[in-house]
Structure 1
Amino acid sequence: MVSRRQMVAIGLATASVAMGGGAWAQAYPNKIIKLQVPFAPGGTTDIIARVMSDSLGKALGQSMVVENKAGGGGVVGATELARTPADGYVLGMATVSTTAANPAINDKIPYNTLTDFTPIINIAATPNVIAVHPSFPAKDYKSFVAELKKNPGKYSYSSSGTGGIGHLQTELFKSLTNTFITHIPYRGAGPALNDTVGGQVPIIFDNLPSALPHIKSGRLIAIVVAAPQRLAVLPDVPTFKEVGLEPVNRMAYYGLIGPKGLPQDVVDKVYNATKQALTDPAVKKRIEDTGSLIVGNTPAEFTAQIKAEFEVYKEVVAKQKLKLE
């Protein structure tokens, strides 16, 4: 039989544990935070993550390390994030590929993009670009399309992976222009860029931040961009809208997400720290120098944006009858 003194001791111990748990939760973060990139190093997602990690870690008062989990057009990393404990110590980079394009075309993806994540903030929006190796016979949009029509099946294009935004938007481009190019998927934009710059693949659909240095150096030639208007860094390159392909004229997003059920206080801390990091002139300049636009929307706005983008790509897949290769 439990004595009164023992009952009091048990009660005090229980209260102590409860208070300790509360103090632990309030102390977030009290250890290193991993920022997971679902692609190989060198692509735009990796660039944005690494630009943000130092300042974001400082704003949170903890070290933040970038970890690359490549494969499946971002699906491998996104799946791992969805299965991670929702304690805020593993966060992920969300892209159109992982939260909209891939889920729209692949019904076997092992996560639900609308219910298995906690959206926190969209950091930046980036233009997309079709670019070619300098050895490609065409150097502008009109002659590019003419060359593809003249030689169906002769050329191939690289992308960050099957089902990713580069794959889906290029397939949409092919459908709208009645052209045929063979898809060569990679484990991220970095490896895809390396092979295109090296001449192994003549065409790439990529996000502008990772492609721009190669375009500026003349190792790639920009043909057409997805952006609201012509870009100051590429004034002579038309937008998809200008050439009559408005459905392809969609920018990419790069945001922070966590697993579903991320505590609200963790969401608030990461959101506020990200907003603070984005006020750092050095961070802002590094992101904008890539051709990206700072967004910094709220968790609710980013949630709505992901849902809207997913619906757009579901409609694209249905209308264009797109299937995985």
Structure 2
Amino acid sequence: MRRRLLLAGAASAALGATSAAPVTTARAQSFPSRPVRIIVPYTPGGTTDILARELAAKLQPALGQNVIVENKPGGGGTIGCEMVARADPDGHTILMGHIGTLAINPLVYPQHSYDPVTGWTPIAYVANVPNVLAVNAAVPAHSVPELVALAKARPGVLAYGTGGPASASHLATAYFAYVSGADILHVPYKGTGPFIADLVAGQLQIGFTGAPVVMPLAKQGKLRTLAISSARRSNAFPELPTIAESGYPGFEADQWYGITGPAGIDPVVVARLNAEINRALGSPEIRARLEKEGGEPVPMPADALGKHIAAEIARWRPVVKAANIRLE
């Protein structure tokens, strides 16, 4: 009798395991079953926010559900990241991340509630966007050498804004200050939008952030652009020299963007999201928007983003150490 009960239990467990897989697959194949949220871990107005909203507009009809962009700023992007990392791994809550949140934060924040590499499900590489070094229109510098000379003549006086401590804009500017020897003052904000507003108003003198934010203001005469962070000149802004050719060979500090979700999202869901995001990146509207602002879409398989995150953490580790950036 005992043997028959054990065999019956084993058969029942096997049947349960067999039936569980189709249920999971069926749920994945019915994705999405409700609105999809794209969490932007910064305030509205920055490049991360701009790209998220462009993608949401394309994904909504493709997925047949509302795609909502939610801004969850704070903690240099960690608040929004942890919110997504703790979400149900069903694909309905995803993160619009970038170099700062996905590669830099793991190096500067000693405590994490998730593993910076294995704690995510990589979904899609989105784009590369160059940073642009800009100054307030009243600053008497029209080139990188002139700006560096001005900063050295007035050490600690010229202030630069960033989207927060250890954000992409902070790392790019700290890297620039490190290689040039410019003594400039860091003023962190809770997002790109607020610091750009103060840069235009003259409360700050320097800004080094994504081209989509800076270039429209430069065209309006509200800012003056000096250089671009890419290894080579941009086809969109051929007049802008690179930092490298302005006296600092090897300098490169572009921003990159990718979408991740909580660890454990079903591969069927990942494949659906990856395909729709890549399709959106190929649309004439998004390509034109990115190209106009110096960026380029980078459609890739989902696992390519995971490998890129790991490689970028390794690349920026010595820069963070040299700049002594560490946050609590």
Q: What is the count of residue pairs matched by the alignment?
A: 315
Provide the TM-score with structure 1 as the length reference. 0.90
Partner of 1:4: none
The 2-side partners of 1:177 and 1:17 are apart by 59
Q: What does 1:11-26 align with in structure 2 at a 5 Å threshold? A: 22-26=25-29
Partner of 1:288: 291
Pick aligned residue for 2:317 from 298, 314, 318: 314
Deviation string, structure 1 residues 127-149 (Cα, Å, up to 9, x no partner): 00111000112121111110001
Maintained 8 Å contact 1:119/1:302: yes
How far off is 1:108 after superposition? 3.0
The one-letter code sitting in structure 1 at the alignment partner of 2:28 is A
The one-letter code sitting in structure 2 at the alignment partner of 1:241 is A
Q: What does 1:4-15 align with in structure 2 at a 5 Å threshold? A: none
Deviation string, structure 1 residues 226-279 (Cα, Å, up to 9, x no partner): 113122343332112212434541211111111111111110000011122122
The 2-side partners of 1:17 and 1:174 are apart by 56
Partner of 2:82: 79
How far off is 1:79 after superposition? 1.4
Pick aligned residue for 1:153 from 133, 140, 156: 156
Provide the TM-score with structure 2 as the length reference. 0.90
In structure 1, runs of 5+ residues without a counterpart are 1-6
The one-letter code sitting in structure 1 at the alignment partner of 2:293 is T
Partner of 1:185: 188
Maintained 8 Å contact 1:59/1:274: no
How far off is 1:60 after superposition? 1.9
How far off is 1:57 after superposition? 2.1
How far off is 1:20 after superposition? 5.7
SS at match of 2:160: strand
Partner of 2:4: none
Pick aligned residue for 1:114 from 91, 99, 117: 117
In terms of mean alpha carbon deviation, does 101-110 or 157-166 score higher?
101-110
Maintained 8 Å contact 1:51/1:286: no
Partner of 1:126: 129
The 2-side partners of 1:25 and 1:129 are apart by 41
2:291 is aligned with 1:302: no
Pick aligned residue for 1:55 from 55, 58, 62: 58
The 1-side partners of 2:106 and 2:23 are apart by 40
The 1-side partners of 2:137 and 2:61 are apart by 42
The 2-side partners of 1:194 and 1:241 are apart by 28
Say if 1:176 and 1:274 are closer, same or farther in 2 by CA, change over 3 A. Answer: same
Cα RMSD, aligned residues only = 2.2
The 2-side partners of 1:324 and 1:156 are apart by 20
Say if 1:18 and 1:168 are closer, same or farther in 2 by CA, change over 3 A. Answer: closer
Pick aligned residue for 1:88 from 80, 87, 91: 91
Maintained 8 Å contact 1:106/1:163: no
How far off is 1:178 after superposition? 1.5
SS at match of 2:245: coil
The 1-side partners of 2:24 and 2:182 are apart by 60
The one-letter code sitting in structure 2 at the alignment partner of 1:172 is Y
Percent of aligned pairs with the same amino acid: 35
The 2-side partners of 1:226 and 1:20 are apart by 49
In terms of mean alpha carbon deviation, does 279-288 or 305-314 score higher?
279-288
Pick aligned residue for 2:37 from 19, 34, 37: 34
Maintained 8 Å contact 1:171/1:322: no
2:210 is aligned with 1:207: yes
Maintained 8 Å contact 1:54/1:63: no
How far off is 1:323 after superposition? 4.1
The 2-side partners of 1:22 and 1:322 are apart by 44
The 2-side partners of 1:137 and 1:324 are apart by 34
Partner of 1:3: none
In structure 2, runs of 5+ residues without a counterpart are 1-7
2:200 is aligned with 1:194: no
Maintained 8 Å contact 1:169/1:248: no
In terms of mean alpha carbon deviation, does 263-272 or 191-200 score higher?
191-200
The 2-side partners of 1:203 and 1:103 are apart by 26
